[in-house]
Amino acid sequence: MRRPRKPTPQTIAVVLALADNPSGWSHGYHLCRQLGLKAGTVYPILMRLTERGQVETTWETDPPSGRPARHLYRLSGEGARFAKELRAAAAAEILRASRSGGVIRPAPGEAV
């Protein structure tokens, strides 16, 4: 049985950014700008999360004329559980670091 890989800081950042917007849909380019990451980083993460069923996708239903409908992303139920686990793990790590006097470096895009 294959062990699940530890998510990268960039994946964590994308998941948490999507989790911060639980009711609405997010645009890929908006996520890139929000997190300060390149499209070549964010989109493979979105593709992978979509293939795993952790992100749901849809198309904009009423795009302005002259522009194609954009692709939208949000966490699925499974993705929301994953985000919750990531938050719990991050909190546990912060707690552990504070007890040992260590420093935690924030993930890309995460507020310090």
Partner 1 sequence: MTTRRTGWIVGAVAVALVLSMIAPGAVLVLAVPVAVIWSILTRWRPTGHEDRDVAERLLAAAAVVTGERTSSDGEQVDWGAALRAELATITVPRERRRFAVGAAVALLGRPHSRRSLVVAAAVAVAFGAGLLGVSRAGLGDDGLGSVTMLLPPVMLFAIGYLCARSTRSLRFGLETGVVAALTTLVAVAVVYGVEAAHWYHVAPDVSVLDGDYVEFDSTRAAVLDAAHPVILLVHLVFWSPWPVLGAWVGRAPRSARG
Residues engaged in binding partner 1 (CB under 8 A): 27-29, 32, 38-44, 47, 50-53, 57, 60, 67-71
Angstrom distance (rounded) from CA 50 to CA 54: 6
How many angstroms separate the Cα of 102 from the Cα of each of 48, 57, 65, 109, 111?
32, 39, 53, 21, 18
CB closer to partner 1 out of 29 and 92: 29
CB closer to partner 1 out of 26 and 83: 26
Q: How far is the CB of 20 from partner 1 (least distance, A)?
A: 20
CB closer to partner 1 out of 70 and 87: 70
Q: How far is the CB of 84 from partner 1 (least distance, A)?
A: 19
Sheet containing strand 26-27, edge to edge, reads 26-27, 71-75, 55-59
Q: How far is the CB of 21 from partner 1 (least distance, A)?
A: 17
CB closer to partner 1 out of 52 and 96: 52
For the CA atoms of 40, 41, 43, 49, what is the dihedral angle to 10 degrees? Answer: 150
